[in-house]
Amino acid sequence: METYYKHSGRAPVLGIVFGFLAGALISIPASYLYDYGIIEITIDKLRFLCTIGFGALIGAAAGLGLCWGKVRNNAAAAIIGAAASLAGLYISWGVWLIDIFERGHWVSNPTRLLMHPGAVWQAILAINTTGTWAMEHDSPTAGAALWAVWLIEALLIVGFGMLVTFGLVKRQPFCEKCEGWCSKTEKLYFAPTLPPVDVKTKLESRQFECLQQLGQGSARGSHFRVVLHSCTSCGMLNTLTLIKAFPKDQKVLIDKLLISSSEIDAVRHLGSPRFAASASAKSMTLGRR
Ligand SMILES: [Zn+2]
């Protein structure tokens, strides 16, 4: 038996198409919002967030589309995430260019322009020489500096789109027997009373009782988070993920360790607040003696 869960790599064609379309279609209304955002917002930091948000939204739509289409292939997720964000980037250029040329018509239709990539490119070249906007209290950015800004913008959109799509597809295990995602997710919080490397080693060697030593943690403060995924249909596929959540230090220590149904029950029991409360009550009575 494998130690860790890994996607089978299956990527149904319909799922791939659906993922790409979901990402590309959401980018149409999102392009108008993004265009409005980058033109109307004058604070550079907020514009930056708009760019990231635009990419992340496309990635989320593509990722959900792929999950709906049962694509369990990390490479396919990254490629579709990048392709959908590139399509979104292209559409956003069309919306922006039409807006520059037809100032004031917020609902201009860029379809005709977008059908002619050559015209889009000529328009981009023309705008680059003069520039249209300025950083706070500055003359319009143009030429090489503008190319650099546009390149960073493109990398942010495609990068975040890809990351979010990838993250969504990788998030849950897929039960090949039942043909479904392991949508049952439980989160248990433990106190950070042991060194992370010890907790990792012990859980990997299946000494789940070490969780009892940790004691109950809180979601707000520093903690170890155990995330359990299980198949709702057969209950035979179960995984355990361990995350170290310290202030400014978040790390996945164990990614989807395969565990049996009796092991997951034991972990659930150790992590239940009622069990933790009775354990601490017991230690208090012992302490009084
Ligand atoms: Zn199953």
Q: Which tens digit of pLDDT belongs to each residue from 197-250?
A: 999 999 999 999 999 888 888 888 999 999 999 999 999 999 999 999 998 899
**Spacing, Cα 238 to ligand 1 middle (Å):** 9
Examine the pLDDT at 68 and tell me if it is beyond 90: yes
**Spacing, Cα 232 to ligand 1 middle (Å):** 7
Examine the pLDDT at 45 and tell me if it is beyond 70: yes
Contacts of 57 (CB under 8 A, 6+ apart): 26, 27, 30
**Spacing, Cα 236 to ligand 1 middle (Å):** 6
**18-22, 88-92, 142-146, 264-268: which has the minimum mean pLDDT?**
142-146
Report the alpha-carbon distance of residue 182 to residue 23 in Å, rounded: 23
Contacts of 111 (CB under 8 A, 6+ apart): 94
Residue that the structure tokens 């000529």 belong to = 122
**Spacing, Cα 72 to ligand 1 middle (Å):** 15
**Spacing, Cα 4 to ligand 1 middle (Å):** 16
Q: Where are the alpha helices (DSSP H) in the chain?
A: 13-40, 44-68, 74-101, 111-114, 117-130, 143-171, 196-204, 210-214, 261-271, 273-288
**Spacing, Cα 254 to ligand 1 middle (Å):** 22
pTM score, whole prediction: 0.85
Measure CA 107 to chain center: 30
Examine the pLDDT at 287 and tell me if it is beyond 50: no
pLDDT of residue 141: 77
Q: Which tens digit of pLDDT belongs to each residue from 108-147?
A: 688 888 989 999 999 899 888 887 765 555 667 788 888 9
For residues 241 and 254, is the Cβ–Cβ distance under 8 A? yes
* Region 275-283 average pLDDT: 54
**Spacing, Cα 229 to ligand 1 middle (Å):** 11
**Spacing, Cα 126 to ligand 1 middle (Å):** 57
Q: Which tens digit of pLDDT belongs to each residue from 152-201?
A: 999 999 999 999 999 999 999 999 999 999 999 999 999 999 999 999 99
**Spacing, Cα 274 to ligand 1 middle (Å):** 29
**Spacing, Cα 234 to ligand 1 middle (Å):** 4
Domain boundaries, the chain: 13-171, 175-288
Percent above pLDDT 70 for the chain: 89
**Spacing, Cα 179 to ligand 1 middle (Å):** 7
**Spacing, Cα 224 to ligand 1 middle (Å):** 27
**Spacing, Cα 233 to ligand 1 middle (Å):** 5
